[in-house]
């Protein structure tokens, strides 16, 4: 069985500052993929960033980067220069092995304050 844990239900950050969202996971698979999805209020869920477990280098996408600690099974998302449009619910998710099904964490609500 796979599990994804997001222990912080809510966070708040001042515009232009940096915030880190934490996520831990557990899987018995050797080959797996990790994702952060963003779901703004009343809007579509979109992929923010992905990380292949076999890659040691941390993924980055513009202001978004991850800190992937494979041994610790940790996958945190760092948002730099936070913008008002970053206000959303963020879900950490895992796909393992040949399975295509996503295991989601409970999500964290991020509010960016002006």
Partner 1 sequence: DAMVIQNPRYQVTQFGKPVTLSCSQTLNHNVMYWYQQKSSQAPKLLFHYYDKDFNNEADTPDNFQSRRPNTSFCFLDIRSPGLGDAAMYLCATSRDPTSGSHEQYFGPGTRLTVT
Per CB under 8 A, the segment of 20-28, 60-68, 72-80, 98-106 that binds partner 1 is: 98-106
| Contact flag: residue 105 with partner 1 (CB under 8 A) | yes
Gap between the Cα atoms of 25 and 5, Å rounded: 6
Gap between the Cα atoms of 9 and 106, Å rounded: 8
| Contact flag: residue 113 with partner 1 (CB under 8 A) | no
Task: Work out the number of other CB atoms within 10 angstroms of the CB of residue 47.
Answer: 11
| Contact flag: residue 47 with partner 1 (CB under 8 A) | yes
| Contact flag: residue 16 with partner 1 (CB under 8 A) | no
Gap between the Cα atoms of 70 and 17, Å rounded: 27
* Residues listed for the chain: 114
Gap between the Cα atoms of 6 and 76, Å rounded: 10
Identify whether the C-beta of residue 62 lies closer than 8 Å to the C-beta of residue 34.
Answer: no
State in angstroms the smallest separation of the CB of 12 from partner 1.
16
Judged by CB under 8 A, the residue of 26, 99, 111, 113 near partner 1 is 99
Per CB under 8 A, the segment of 22-30, 68-76, 79-87, 105-113 that binds partner 1 is: 105-113
Write out the residues near partner 1 by the rule CB under 8 A.
Answer: 33, 35, 37, 43-47, 50, 89, 91, 95, 98-102, 104-107, 109
């Amino acid at each position: 069985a796979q599990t994804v844990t997001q222990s912080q239900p809510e966070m708040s950050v001042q515009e232009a500052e940096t915030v880190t969202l934490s996520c831990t996971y557990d899987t018995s698979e050797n080959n797996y993929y990790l994702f952060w999805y963003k779901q703004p209020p009343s809007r579509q869920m979109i992929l923010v960033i992905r990380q292949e477990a076999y890659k040691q280098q941390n993924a980055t996408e513009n202001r978004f980067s991850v800190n992937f600690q494979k041994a610790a099974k940790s996958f945190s998302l760092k948002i730099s220069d936070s913008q008002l449009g970053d206000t959303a619910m963020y879900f950490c998710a895992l796909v393992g092995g040949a399975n295509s099904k996503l295991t989601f964490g409970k999500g964290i609500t991020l509010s960016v304050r002006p």
